[in-house]
Structure 1
């Protein structure tokens, strides 16, 4: 089942504010990557805000491969790519998941933001191993970690509110432990007009959690070194070959 089937219509506008901070931070990290040639992959590209940021940060990178398994998210992604001429000529959209996508060797960078929690530990290790094989010398895998780092309770909190026309779109989130290394997120998407609720959609999905230390150990098994990058509150990390 597509975990975004019921929520995709809300997500792009609700993550817009986050990307105002994340895009320049990603740009800085991409500019620091030592490899200067080769394609770039955006894993779990979602609605394409990260893909757009990659293309702006690296105008010479071609192609950019946007990998997104969700049909509903991919519809928004394709619309964004088609609607911006510079993206249309550079971005190829792949309807695959992060581990099984047919990526080429010699990748300058692999970007995997806001998606690690979708991968069970075995698939996470497969991502590290696949990235180690496909990265060009000096290339980097760029990931981020958002709290919680363990199976913890997260209280019901309004994460964002966006007004479009006469209506306000709210996103609320909470989480409960649902295993030794996972939580179940509950997301409530509310549409209000004049303060009156017009509709509400609730979505629940599993999210695999891990600490930076755990991920560092996993990455080392694949021959990658994990280092923090950028502002600590953004939770960005780069993974590179040991000799970089």
Structure 2
């Protein structure tokens, strides 16, 4: 399987830092609302580990965290972050699996799947709903986020993030085009500049499956899950729990 992050992983932690400034405290707040008081937590599509750090900060009781990340390039950053942080190193296990195939234990306190739903084709997304319904402990939850676009449509080229490290300036640009009945193809461009002049550029295309909140809620309900918006509206966070819990 082609790794969409093989050529861009070196930039992603920098480019996502600003997003996580808002996302991390929101995730922390939601995790503290989860009624299950014990059990391991799972971060699906853990990326470079910013979510893992937020999970451990939210629930500092020593509970285990399974960080699931299929990209070897992203795992390199994730594993370095975990190893260099003592409170993470003792709690976090990094698994080189994907969301559709990882074997999760029962009795989970929470499953976190942020910025990754679009990577899952509809059949694999439904597998996630099944896991979320079967694996959590009583009172456990699944936390996802829904980001635009929610239907196949053109997304104009936009500068998403910038960062400066030493004498170099980094930029991330994104655009998307419809590429199927329920998907778009994102084009991500990462530019490195010195004194305002281009030094290097990497362009990566990847598929992204789209669905609206109502469509996702309907899929989840088929597996006995109730989905409700949570946190600031602009973050697109959704909390899923089993019906009656």
TM-score by structure 2 length?
0.99
Which residue matches 1:203? 204
Secondary structure at the aligned position of 2:161 is classed as: strand
Aligned-pair CA distance for 1:20: 0.7
Does structure 1 residue 103 correspond to structure 2 residue 104? yes
For the residues of structure 1 that align with 2:99 and 2:60, how far apart are their CA atoms?
A: 24
Structure 1 segment 1-244 matched on structure 2, within 5 A: 1-244=2-245
Shift of 1:61: 4.7
Distance 1:53 1:211 in 2: 26
Q: Is the 8 A contact 1:109 1:135 kept in 2?
A: yes
Can you list the C-alpha shifts for 1:212-235, whole angstroms capped at 9, x where unaligned?
000000000111001100111100
Per the TM alignment, residue 131 of structure 1 is displaced from its structure 2 partner at its CA by 1.5
Deviations 1:137-194 (A, max 9, x none): 1100000011001001000000011000001000000000001100000000000010
Asked if 2 retains the 8 angstrom alpha-carbon contact of 1:98 and 1:127, the reply is yes
Unaligned runs of 5+ in 1: none
- Structure 1 length normalisation: TM-score? 0.99
Q: Distance in 2 between matches of 1:163 and 1:96?
A: 32
Report the Cα offset of residue 124 of structure 1. 0.3
Taking the aligned partners of 2:244 and 2:6, their CA distance within structure 1 comes to 42
Any runs of at least 4 consecutive aligned residues in structure 1 with deviations exceeding 3 A, and if so which? none
Query: What's the CA shift string for 1:23-45, capped at 9, x where partnerless?
Result: 00001100111111111000000
Q: Matched residue pairs, number?
A: 244
| Distance in 2 between residues matched to 1:77 and 1:106, nearest whole Å | 25
Q: CA RMSD in A?
A: 0.6
Q: Contact 1:39–1:61 at 8 Å: present in 2 too? A: no
Deviations 1:103-132 (A, max 9, x none): 110001000000000000000001000111
Q: Which consecutive unaligned segments of at least 5 residues does structure 2 have?
A: none
Provide the rounded CA distance (Å) in 2 between the counterparts of 1:178 and 1:197. 30
